[in-house]
Structure 1
Amino acid sequence: MLTKRPFAMLALYYYPGNASLLPHMMLREIRVPFDMRLVDRDQNAQKSDEYLKLNPNGRIPVLVDGDLVLFETSAIALHLVDRFPEAGLAPSFGTKERAEFYKWMVHLTNTPQAEYRAWFYPHEHVSDEAAIPAAQKAAEQRLYRMFDVISEQLGDKTWLLGDRFSAADLFLFMLIRWGRAMPRPPRTLPNLNALAERVLARPAVQAALEAEGLKAPIF
């Protein structure tokens, strides 16, 4: 059943498997109507004049919510949990659980998500092309350490917040997925693999993956 509340039409600018996957999964969890608008990276559409009016950084995603145009993945995610609190994708305001949720959302965007940039695009981080392999290897090693820390913090809990599922778990799932081609993928850490499997089993996540045409291996 769709969320019964007044809302403006939502539109998500996305590219399959990109950072837009997080808000896409969230919108499916919320079960509110929204438009999906493909930004064709294969045609460099994220650098088009039209798209740069929405996000001057030329990155994906963008969420349009009525007259609000919002970029930055974590900002979009936090807006959605506030916009649709009845969906339960974050704990209540003012609670210690909400503070833990903020911690994970900020950590995931500032550490592994940011570090993936250096791993996927090492040429952006060097002035000498000969240094590209070393730059990617260094990013890889930093990512290993980051996921080791996340694994240690998760421990044997079901979700990052313990027994409660949240948007932070969707975020971590996306980041685990991004590392599937690494020499030591995040899924090799048993508790991260188990969390990813639990997220993957959710109908909303399955619907988002299907809509984006994302096939196995998912992570």
Structure 2
Amino acid sequence: MLALYYYPGNASLLPHMMLREIGVPFEMRLVDRGSNAQKSPEYLKLNPNGRIPVLIDDDLVLFETAAIALHLADKFPQAGLSPAVGTKERAEFYKWMVHLTNTPQAEYRAWFYPHEHVSDEAAAPAAKQAAERRLYRMFDVISEQLGDRAWLLGDRFSAADLFLFMLIRWGRGMPRPPRMLSNLDALAERVIARPAVQEAFRVEGIQAPFF
């Protein structure tokens, strides 16, 4: 039995999109951030960090977005969301999954919650601006690496593209959103056109603008 603990638009969106792409039965379990349910004793038993998502796979309880994504890609190879183990393409896939979780995803924490990164609340706006500048550079690098390819792995769509799409979406409120980079905008348009992604957005109640 698969169950995904989620909140609309959060990091749980990546495994949700993947599960829709895979096409297997699973249960969605809402974690109501409005009532701080991610900090409840019940949820902390699943993820002691109090963050979303968590994936239940029979007796496996798994947190960390990238770990969940890699597990799903491995568990359901028939979905084609990652290249075969041991190939150069698989190494490239690992590179992107690790980069996306360690670099822009982590940096967004400082942009969304700058007060967590300062000891003086008055410094929070400056911390947010600094995180914003770092995010701009990170997306510039990703754009340069993507070039004129359709997907991060070239002609092959993978879970890394879903990951990047989610991060592009998170930046939609920035003064210079990632979609302003033309190749990132084109990749996001290709992702949002996928029926599985559209279904994930419908179920989560996510409305336009999508990114």
TM-score under structure 2 normalisation?
1.00
Does residue 38 of structure 2 align to residue 46 of structure 1?
yes
Q: Which consecutive aligned stretches of 4+ in structure 1 deviate over 2 angstroms post-superposition? A: none
- 1:169 is matched with 161
Residue identity matched to 1:61: P
Residues 1:144 and 2:136 are matched in the alignment = yes
CA displacement 1:69-93 (0-9 Å, x = unmatched): 0000000000000000010000001
Root mean square deviation, CA, Å: 0.2
Which residue does the alignment assign to 2:151? 159
Matching residue's letter, 2:6? Y
Alignment pair present for 1:106 and 2:98: yes
Quote the Cα distance in structure 1 between the aligned partners of 2:85 and 2:120: 48
2:54 aligns with 62
Which residue number in structure 1 is paired with residue 8 of structure 2? 16
Q: Secondary structure at the match of 1:108?
A: helix
Counterpart of 2:83 (choices 55, 74, 91) is 91
Hey, what's the Cα distance between the residues in 2 that align with 1:184 and 1:47? 33
Cα drift, residue 163 of structure 1: 0.1
Name stretches of at least 5 consecutive residues in structure 1 with no aligned partner. Answer: 1-8
What is the CA–CA distance in structure 2 between the aligned matches of 1:171 and 1:199, rounded to whole Å?
A: 10
Question: Counterparts of 2:124 and 2:163 in 1: how far apart (Å)?
Answer: 28
CA distance in 2, matches of 1:23, 1:178: 16
Compute the displacement of 1:102 (Å).
Answer: 0.1
Query: How many residues matched?
Result: 211
* Residue of structure 2 in register with 1:115 after alignment: 107
Partner of 1:125: 117
**Residue 50 (structure 1) shift:** 0.3
Which secondary structure state, in structure 1, belongs to the residue aligned with residue 110 of structure 2?
helix
Residues 145-167 of structure 1, C-alpha deviation per residue, up to 9 Å, x if partnerless?
00000000000000000000000
**Residue equivalent to 2:170:** 178
Q: CA deviation at 1:119?
A: 0.1
3-state SS in 1 of match to 2:72:
helix
Counterpart of 2:68 (choices 66, 73, 76) is 76
| TM-score, normalised with respect to structure 1 | 0.96
CA distance in 2, matches of 1:83, 1:130: 47
Q: Which amino acid aligns with 1:128?
A: D
The AA in structure 2 aligned to 1:71 is: F
Of the three residues 8, 24, 31, the one matched with 2:23 is: 31
The secondary structure found in structure 1 opposite 2:207 is coil
Other structure's SS at 2:55 match: strand
